[in-house]
Amino acid sequence: MRREIKFGGYGGQGIILAGYITGKAASLYDHLNAVFTQNYGPEARGGASSSEVVISDEPIDYPYVISADALVLMSKEAYDRYIHLSKEGGFVIVDEDLVDIDERAEGRKVYKIKATKIAEELGNRIVANIVMLGFFTSVTGFISREAMRKSVEDSVPRRFLELNLKAFEEGLREGERK
């Protein structure tokens, strides 16, 4: 089993953190092999940002996404840049207020969530990435809910833990509705 996951968006959306939390969940708590890589532009905020996680039950010989089992995209630019990496039958998960799906996603399992809007309703749009992680966990089943929740708990600042856990749970609930 090898699963390739790519997160894409822009700086400031927590794309790198989402990949880190996912890799940590897979390796430390689901006891799988995982490799996490990141890529971002020179801009601190607003520039392109992506991260990749490769998960396997065997040693990983190549640490980059070749054919994504799941794309988690939080900007139109990320969609345009990475949709070609999505494998036939793979998951394409988008923040529907920020990404318009077109014919390039045909043959994929497309899931839409208003992650940024949900985060704003929770009190801070900065947790949209955690809403997306909950949703991703729910719809793909690639990582156990317990592992992802524990990884969120261990990876976010203590003062924002309650908000992040609410965001994660809301993402899970939204995924259950799909």
CATH of the domain at 25: 3.40.920.10
pLDDT for 40:
73
Q: Is 88 exposed, middle or buried (0-12, 13-18, 19+ CB in 10 A)?
A: exposed
Which residue segment(s) compose the domain that 29 sits in?
A: 2-176
What is the enclosing helix (H) or strand (E) of 8? strand 2-10
**Helix, strand, or coil (residue 113):** strand
DSSP three-state, residue 162: helix
Helices (H), the chain: 15-24, 76-82, 115-122, 128-140, 145-155, 161-176
What is the per-residue pLDDT across 95-109, written as a single tens digit (0 to 9) for each?
A: 999 999 999 999 999
pLDDT at 92: 98
Q: What is the pTM of this model?
A: 0.95
pLDDT of residue 111: 98
- Please list the ranges in the chain whose pLDDT falls under 70: 41-46
As for how many domains the chain has, the answer is: 1
